[in-house]
Structure 1
Amino acid sequence: MPSRDDISTDDLRLLLALARTGKLVAAAAIVGIDHTTVRRRLRRLESSLGVTLIEHGSDGWVLTELGRVVVERSNRLEDVVHDVRAAVQGVEGTVRGTVRIAAPDGFGASLACSAIAEVVREHPGITVELVTSTRPLSPRAAGYDLSVSIGEPRQGWLASELLTRYELGLYTSHDYLRRHGPLRSTADLANHRLVFYVDSHLAVAELDLARSFAGMGVGFASTSVHAQLAATRDGAGIGLLPSFLAEPEPELRRVLPAEVRFVLAYSLSLRRDSPAPDAVELIRTALHRHVAGHQRELLPLA
């Protein structure tokens, strides 16, 4: 059995790569070795320390409680490497690092992208990886430094805070209304078809809103809100859409705004042991600044 004093700093950097990505293959790509070697060397690290650092979860590899402690202490290795490179390149003091972000596809592909682009323009030493999904992030998930999720803030390993509130309303195309006639009350909705999420794939409880329109059949369902937006624009039915996506569309019109308005929250969660805390803070600040400047689109009826 290896001595507990025989701890390889290279093995610690492999643990940092796995904590960042949550996947052996992705971690191997970062460090330039094959994934079987990564797993073997992480087993060696666990043996050297005499503890279990990682375990397999539903979304990939996750850190154990002790694994998180080791990663938090090991982040200093990344700082040393960045400082050495910066000194050699003559760019000391610049913010550097890779930040991985998870966000719902609607928010991620619109508001988040604009905020992220602002940061990477001003800080070329920062690399951002954006993963879009409407699935809720596991409280023990590894691999993300920042996560935007639908719902109120929740505390845990990811420090969570309210990012913004936003509303959903009913929208349809001008052509659809010309063909089907005006909607004067919610009773009229029974004669129309809804465009919304695929019910069996809906993992976010806050979006379980279709039951509010029990009299409507579903005309088009998709796991992508951008597909819902396109289908509504093309006349597939009446879409229940985020206002910040639907309002800028000239071909869409909001219907029954006084009767149908849902207000949800976007929460922002930060990983406490992120290897790039300065870069994370820049992106966090940019996200807050960006949503503050788009409140009219996020909450048009407020």
Structure 2
Amino acid sequence: MTSAERVRMRTPDVSTDDLRMLLALARTGKLVTAATLLGIDHTTVSRRLRRLETGLGVTLVERGTDGWALSEIGRVVVERAAPLEQILQEVRDAVSGDEGTVRGSVRLSTPDGFGTKIASVAVAEVIAAHPGISVELVTSTRPISSRASGYDLAVSIGEPRQGWLASEFLTNYTLGLYASRRYLNTRPRIASPTDLTDHRLVFYVDSHLNVAELDLARRFAGMHVGLGCTNVSAQVEATLHGAGVGLLPCFMAEEEPDLIRVLPSEIAFTLAFSLSSRRNSPAPDAVGLIRQAIRSVVVARQDLLVPRT
């Protein structure tokens, strides 16, 4: 018998306030963060969640490596309960005379380069036009777990994943080799790929690289990583200051006038960004505005994302 079937065989004891605890934990993935969001102590959140699970007779959340994740039945419950916060806010707006105002808090996860150059621009435009929306932008270059929680929208590197996430293709982007003008004027000439063996690569730390699509350093036989950085913005800065030849996203490097692209016709890697969203977001209107703004900035910056060689 499945968990859902057991629930249907009994009259569950459900508190609306306890459901708010579950929604907050589903959104943040952390007890302490959920408690801060609700303005209460994390032990209260834990106790109320246990009461909700006891009342329903099912396990709603499970401890994961990165915090708390929803169980299969937990995702079903959250999806059904997601409109609750929106309804409560609409009641408040009706009383205060603010009906029609888009409100909500959106948690957005992106790779750090995308967050710096694209997502932050999109978010700024939205919150300037809609003061009732607040956004938490978390940057991390890592794959999206099929059981991930803690965000409303997430941009990730790679093609859209299948599963309970609503995932869609966002855009392609190109990585190329770049070096500073000063570096190129003082180091051995780079006229062909074989010349790269005289230079050091600036790229990710191999042991910390969790995204398979970025496993590109091995494509450069005889060229070792002289400086590895887990943050692509640091890679750009290191390349600007002569640490070596950087394998960088073009949408970041092309905006630096002192960086020159090396061997553009011979070396270019095209990857994809995907956009995933939670189907149970408590602020669907706010999420929709952020998604639309991200897509608009992506369209406006296509010449940088995929430059012509």
Please confirm whether the aligned pair reaches a TM-score higher than 0.5, indicating the same fold.
yes
Kindly state the Cα deviation for residue 94 of structure 1 after the two structures are TM-superposed.
1.3
Q: Does 1:212 align with 2:219?
A: yes
The answer (yes or no) to whether the contact 1:4–1:50 under 8 Å persists in 2 is no
Q: Does 1:166 align with 2:166?
A: no
Q: Which amino acid aligns with 2:39?
A: G
The equivalent position to 2:125 in structure 1, one of 118, 133, 144, is 118
The equivalent position to 1:151 in structure 2, one of 121, 135, 158, is 158
The answer (yes or no) to whether the contact 1:12–1:45 under 8 Å persists in 2 is yes
Report SS of the residue matched to 1:289: helix
Kindly state the Cα deviation for residue 88 of structure 1 after the two structures are TM-superposed.
2.3
For residues 234 and 191 of structure 1, the distance between their equivalents in structure 2, rounded to whole angstroms, comes to: 18
1:107 aligned residue: 114
The equivalent position to 2:76 in structure 1, one of 69, 79, 99, is 69
Q: Does 1:227 align with 2:219?
A: no
Q: Which amino acid aligns with 2:101?
A: T
- Aligned pairs, number: 300
Q: Does 1:271 align with 2:266?
A: no
Report SS of the residue matched to 2:82: helix
Report SS of the residue matched to 1:283: helix
1:183 aligned residue: 190
The answer (yes or no) to whether the contact 2:84–2:282 under 8 Å persists in 1 is no
Q: Does 1:9 align with 2:16?
A: yes
1:259 aligned residue: 266
Question: For the aligned residues, what is the CA RMSD?
Answer: 1.1
For residues 49 and 152 of structure 2, the distance between their equivalents in structure 1, rounded to whole angstroms, comes to: 21
Q: Which amino acid aligns with 1:154?
A: R
1:89 aligned residue: 96
The answer (yes or no) to whether the contact 2:188–2:198 under 8 Å persists in 1 is no
Q: Which amino acid aligns with 1:141?
A: A
For residues 260 and 248 of structure 1, the distance between their equivalents in structure 2, rounded to whole angstroms, comes to: 19
Report SS of the residue matched to 1:44: helix
Report SS of the residue matched to 2:207: helix
Gaps of 5+ in 2: 1-9
Report SS of the residue matched to 1:292: helix
The answer (yes or no) to whether the contact 1:186–1:256 under 8 Å persists in 2 is yes
Kindly state the Cα deviation for residue 295 of structure 1 after the two structures are TM-superposed.
0.6
Q: Which amino acid aligns with 1:206?
A: E
Kindly state the Cα deviation for residue 5 of structure 1 after the two structures are TM-superposed.
4.5
TM-score (norm 2): 0.95
For residues 65 and 202 of structure 1, the distance between their equivalents in structure 2, rounded to whole angstroms, comes to: 29
TM-score (norm 1): 0.97
Q: Displaced runs of 4+ in structure 1, greater than 3 A?
A: 3-6
For residues 13 and 208 of structure 2, the distance between their equivalents in structure 1, rounded to whole angstroms, comes to: 47
The answer (yes or no) to whether the contact 1:21–1:142 under 8 Å persists in 2 is yes
Report SS of the residue matched to 1:268: strand
For residues 100 and 43 of structure 1, the distance between their equivalents in structure 2, rounded to whole angstroms, comes to: 25
Q: Deviations over 1:66-116 (max 9, x none)?
A: 111111111222022111221122110111111101100000111111011
Q: Does 1:238 align with 2:245?
A: yes
Q: Deviations over 1:154-209 (max 9, x none)?
A: 12111111111000000000000110143100000000000000000000000000
Q: Deviations over 1:108-150 (max 9, x none)?
A: 1111110111111111111111100001121101111101000
The equivalent position to 1:35 in structure 2, one of 35, 42, 54, is 42
2:87 aligned residue: 80
